[in-house]
Each structure stands twice: as C-alpha cells, then as structure tokens.
Amino acid sequence: MEILMKNSLPLYKQIIMDLLEQILDGELRPGDRVPSEHELSSSYRVSSITSKNALTELAEKGYIIRIKGKGSFVNSAEALLNIPDFTHTLQQRIVMKAKTIGLIVPSMKTTIDQQLLNAVEMELAPTEYILAISITRESQQLESASIQKFRESGVSGLIIFPTEHEMYNEEILKLNLSDFPFVLVDRYLRGIRSSCIYTDNYDISKLATLHLLEQGCRHVAFLSPDSHNTVTSDRINGFQDGLYEQGMTVLPENLCMIPLSVTDPAEKESLILQYLKSHPGIDGLFCVNREMAKYAAHLMTIHQLWNRYRIAAFDYPDDHRISYISQDIGQIAHNCVLELIDSIQNGRKDHHIVVPARLVPAHT
C-alpha cells in the first residue's frame, strides 16, 4: 500500500483518507476485508489506539462494517451510495479522472502566466482532456495543497509551474516516487526526476549580453531578484559567459540582486536607483524578467537616463528602446501537453525539452 501522509492532518485522519481513496478507486470493493487495527498500526507505525480510532470513524460514517471475531469489511454498494459525501466525491472523481489535466500556476498577473494558460487550453481543445486550474499565489504551501487536492480528485496528470523562488517541494517528490504523470514548466528542480519544458535560458541570456556589448556597452549589470531557482541560475551563467567570451572580468558589482524580503515595488525601484548611482560606470542592464525591466524603464524615463544606458530584458516588448527576449510560450505549451498525454497513456519518460527563444533588438 502506498502511504501518502497528509502532514497537516492527525494520524488517524491520514489513515481514513488513504482507506477512502482505496474504496473510491475500487482497490477495496464492497465486502472486501479492511486491514485490521494491528496491520494498520504496523503499516503506518502508529499506536493501536490511532488505528482503532480510524476504523471506528469509518464504521460510524457507514463506510465499513465491523464484525466481532471476524474483522472489518467494506460496506455494501447500496450503503455506500447512501452516504452523501461518498456519492459526491465518487462522481467528482469519475469526471476528473476520466479526462482531466490539472494546471498549477503561481499567478495570473503576468503576461507569461496568461499566455501559458491560453496556449495550454488551445493545445488541449482538440484532445479528449479538459483543463482544471489552481493558482498558488506564489505560495509553496498552496502549491502542495493544490497537488494533494488534484490527486485526491483523480486527475489524469498535472502541469506544474513552480513558484518563483522554489528549490524543492516534497509533494512534487512524492509525484516522482509514485510515477504519477506530471510535467514541470518554465524550470526544472534539482534532484527531482521529471519531465521539464523550459526556455533555453542560458543561450539566450548569453546572446542578449553579447548584443549589449556589440551596442558599445563596457560595464553591464545583471538585474534580478535574489532568487536561486534554476531559471535565474541559468540566466546568470549565460550572462557571465557572455562577458567572459569578450575577455571581461565578472565582478560581484556586476550583479544587482534585489533581496526577496523586499516586496514593495517602490522600494525595489529605489534599490535599483541606489545601485546605479553607486556604480556610475555601469552603461548596460540585463533585466532577468519583466518586473525588473519595468522598474528600469521607469527610472530611465523619470531621471532622463535613456541616453546613458542600453537595456536588454526578458519578456518586455513594451518599449522600443529595450532589446527584449521573446519566449515561445506556444511551443512550450505544445510540448507540455504532448509530453504529459504521452506520460498518461504510455508511462513517464522524464525528458528535458529546451525551447529556443528569440532576441528582438531595440529600435533607437
């Protein structure tokens, strides 16, 4: 028996949920013997009182019957269908499990989030699957809860866009260990085997850095939140290697990393301005994402600095004076859906698929 511990629940509730999942999935059928108190205590490494409480509650709610001297057994199908919670959950699972893919995203605020949702929906439209969505609001706790909820609902597979600063998630590791079909989008998580679909962050960051140098920049700064996820790491490596290739030394002062503890946009913008003032030699900015580009563009405008700096940025086509990197969200979504459906139907392969991006030069 696979044990998926719901850490926020009392131990006896965890046992109840696992036994109910087995009944709902048909692993335990009406009339089947349910593991005894002793067997549950051994499997879950809990006291006999805990396992007894679990079986007692299942019996009180009508899921099982207990026969003295014989054991506990799943109640009849007729009795189970008379339990409102059981009937509702069963119907929900039948619908969800048959043809549903869950999409877990950190927000719906950015253009990338919105483009990804639209593209995934378009890719799924001609298939037999429907889409269910959960927004985590950049909370790893909510992400874990979404994974648990989708699994309990019986979805066929998951597309997960991890939270921005995520390095590791135990629930994703559990998906891995149980061979549940899932795909990570936008990034990979070190140490977790999975299929991942993401932009070629290293190569395009190196190309954008070389582009700034070709435009005459001699001291380029990397502007980013102080995150250590694989997206930021790959982009920093591309940036640094672009400088190295031109014989330039990469110094700590080339990195302007905004602390994650700073959440106020005005404060972030103020920190960037302080950095520029304290490093007057900087003449180029590489912005790791749209947010950083937005702050930089605003500073250039209000302080009349456009003639002093060249800027390259991810996902910022809003200003013709900024060279921007265009990610192929449509291709990423296409690969996500193909990879996940293949995993659902034929078993997981755990591929890393890297999608090229395009650099659009500024028009000065």
Interatomic CA distance for residues 231 and 215, integer angstroms: 25
- 209-215 mean pLDDT: 97
pLDDT in tens, 78-88: 888 888 888 77
Same fold: 97-199+329-356 with 201-326: yes
Residue extents of the structural domains in the chain:
11-82, 97-199+329-356, 201-326
Write out the two tokens for 224: 């980013």
| Residue predicted with more confidence, 5 or 200 | 200
Write out the two tokens for 147: 């994974």
The CATH number of 201-326 is which of 3.40.190.10, 3.40.1390.20, 3.40.50.2300, 3.40.50.2020? 3.40.50.2300
Q: Decide if pLDDT at 5 tops 70.
A: no
pLDDT band at 193; cut points 50, 70, 90: confident
The whole-number pLDDT of residue 256 equals 97
DSSP H helical segments within 154-259, as ranges? 170-177, 201-214, 230-245
Q: Quick one: CATH architecture of 97-199+329-356?
A: 3-Layer(aba) Sandwich (3.40)
Average of per-residue pLDDT values in the chain: 91
Q: Quick one: CATH architecture of 11-82?
A: Orthogonal Bundle (1.10)
pLDDT in tens, 127-168: 989 999 999 998 999 999 999 999 888 899 999 999 887 677
Other CB atoms within 10 Å distance of the CB of residue 274:
11
DSSP 194: -
Question: Could you give the C-alpha distances from 120 to 38, 115, 116, 160, 201, in angstroms and in order?
Answer: 47, 9, 6, 12, 21
